[in-house]
Structure 1
């Protein structure tokens, strides 16, 4: 089953976890530590109410300085630079940071089913595009949309790994319900460590 199909079939919890996991893996671009999103993960595990989710989200935004939004004025995630790669050191990383900030800014405070569905879908595109921008090897596909639909020929390593993690998270929640949240967090933690290492290497090369 393709990533697009998994998102279409996911329930509210699965969508919230999917979006949060994408954001969590991209935290190194926002300057956050590994525990910055833990309150949001805990809220999903505890099945905390909508109000509590919103409060925790605003606290995270305050710590990370989240602002901006997904929008055509700044370029939709996955559009505009869909053919870009991570070969450049400046503009590619700048765009990756902007995409990560939009993911945080667009997180729905009310966590409604419609809101988390739109957010999870946008985060999926943005996270794949971030990994495409930062991958030192060029992804041969025309766009991340093709990857999400199951066309995986010629994927670069970082994009392939991110796609696999997104699929795994959704499968864990679909197959195990709340019990799938802990392994989903473990999958996301692994991805965050990988991206942090990539960002660190790029920083050393620039220095």
Structure 2
């Protein structure tokens, strides 16, 4: 089953976990520590956590400096609409600068109300943004025309970093679909692994610039 199909079939918890996992893996670009999103993960474990999602989200935004930035504080999935956090398309910074901007838009676009409709749009947008971030930072070129092709199952010529991110996104959704709340811990472990990989990539790029 393709990533697009998995997102289409996921329930509210699975969608929230999918979007959160994408954001979690990109925390190194936001200057956050490894525990910064733990309160949001904890809130996914039971239905009562949905009521506290918005408050915890605002706390995270405050700590990461993302509160109200990039025009998505109202919970819409970004300035370009559902499934697209790329904005107007006129960005002219480096690949890493663009990656940071996409990560900040993922955080800014997170819906304050954890409704199924809101988290579905956010999860879809985060999926695209996270794959694009890994594509921008991968030292090897991804041969595909777009990340949309990867999400639809066309995986020929994928670069290693993009392939690993696609695999993690699929795994998180499969864990939540197959195990419900019990899938959250292994999903977090998958995301933690991805965060470490991206942190190492960012560190290597920083050393090369130095």
Q: TM-score, normalised by structure 1?
A: 0.90
Shift of 1:81: 17
Shift of 1:100: 0.2
1:53-111 residue CA offsets vs partner (Å, 9 max, x unmatched): 10000000000011466779999999x99999999996000000000000000000001
Contact 1:85 1:133 in 2 (8 A): no
1:31-60 residue CA offsets vs partner (Å, 9 max, x unmatched): 000000000001112433433110000000
Aligned CA distance change for structure 1 residues 152 and 76 (closer, same or farther; 3 Å): farther
Aligned to 1:70: 70
Q: TM-score, normalised by structure 2?
A: 0.88
Q: How many pairs align? A: 206
1:140-188 residue CA offsets vs partner (Å, 9 max, x unmatched): 0000000000000000000000000000000000011111010000000
Runs of 4+ in 1 over 2 A off after TM superposition: 46-51, 67-78, 80-90
Aligned to 1:20: 20
Aligned-partner SS, 1:86: coil
Whether 2:146 is the aligned partner of 1:143: answer: yes
Q: Provide structure 1 residue ranges, at least 5 long, that are not aligned to the other structure.
A: none
Separation in 2 of the partners of 1:42 and 1:81?
A: 26
Decide which moves more: 101-110 or 37-46: 37-46
Whether 2:6 is the aligned partner of 1:3: answer: no
Aligned CA distance change for structure 1 residues 69 and 178 (closer, same or farther; 3 Å): same
Aligned to 1:29: 29
Aligned CA distance change for structure 1 residues 75 and 156 (closer, same or farther; 3 Å): farther
RMSD over aligned Cα, in angstroms?
A: 4.1
Q: Provide structure 2 residue ranges, at least 5 long, that are not aligned to the other structure.
A: none
